[in-house]
Amino acid sequence: MGKSLRVAYGEALVKLGAKNEKVVALDADLAHATMSATFAAAYPDRFYNMGIAEANMMCAAAGFAHTGYIPFASTFALFGSGRAYEQIRNSICYTNANVKFAFSHSGLSVGEDGGSHQSIEDIALMREMPNMTVFVPCDPKETEKAVMAAAEIDGPVYIRVARPVCEDITEEDTPFIPGKANIMRDGNDVCIITAGLMVPIALKAAEELEKEGISAAVVNMHTIKPIDAEIILEMNKKCKGIVTAEEHSVIGGLGSAVAEVLAGNAGAKFERVGIQDKFGKSGKPDQLFAAYGLTAENIIEKCKATLA
């Protein structure tokens, strides 16, 4: 049985807390949704419910960081990256405060909560800030590794945490090195660069392409910032096409980050799969993924377009 990335986050935070007494957790009255409640149960004296006051939570987290603690601040991705943007920018990133953000319920996979709660801009908002590291884990195991890696980084780190239950597609010994992507499947015709919940969909697309004689590599870009420019440029030379796939707007997210690396370099044709400058809407996650083209079929179509 799989589990959600938010459950994996809560469990990882407890493990981290057992190793380091300087780890504290803050939440904006959503602890049972973000699963920081797991940490609260284990370490009630190191957990702080800041109420529905995200901006205040970020300033408090900065204060903890400046006094030697390692604060993990949790809320929904829309509220954290959007409502508290200015506090994250000025109180945390501007001072390079050692604050970690684990924002859950990201992307379209929030489902029936609808467009008002679906953060499809959060990666763009977080990665543009100096000093920020951005992780987008693809499964429970990778989420735990992201939490542990974040604690080792001196500075702000954003961990994008998805809501749905999912199976592990990585192994215990799969490396998680910040800024170093993992090649999930090798190939030399086309390369699919992806992250988060789109990784298993990209792997499915690659399998279908293989049946048609098209060799497709799949790269899990779990770190959006700093991005692994080396692997992108390697695939740009090796393959005829590069396709990015993300559960985020095509503006400012993974596709934009890859395009920035490719700019000025001749090589593979380039296509993007993602949310095309639209807000989300209410529906079951699988229905929304289909409606917005976050499917293996669309990835396949884009891959073939780069080879045409």
Query: Is this structure's pTM higher than 0.85?
Result: yes
DSSP string, 6-34: HHHHHHHHHHHHHH-TTEEEEESS-HHHH
| 54 flagged as catalytic | yes
State residue 112's pLDDT score.
86
State residue 168's pLDDT score.
94
| Pick from 166, 247, 170: nearest CA to 4 | 166
* Rounded Cα distance, 263 and 254, in Å: 14
State residue 201's pLDDT score.
98
CB 159 within 8 A of CB 8: no
Q: Which of 11, 21, 54, 171 is catalytic?
A: 54
Predicted confidence pLDDT, tens digits, the chain (308 residues): 689 999 999 999 999 999 999 999 999 999 999 999 999 999 999 999 999 999 999 999 999 999 999 999 999 999 999 999 999 999 999 999 999 999 999 999 888 888 888 899 999 999 999 999 999 999 999 999 999 999 999 999 999 999 889 999 999 999 999 999 999 999 999 999 999 999 999 999 999 999 999 999 999 999 999 999 999 999 999 999 999 999 999 999 999 999 999 999 999 999 999 999 999 999 999 999 999 999 999 999 999 999 99
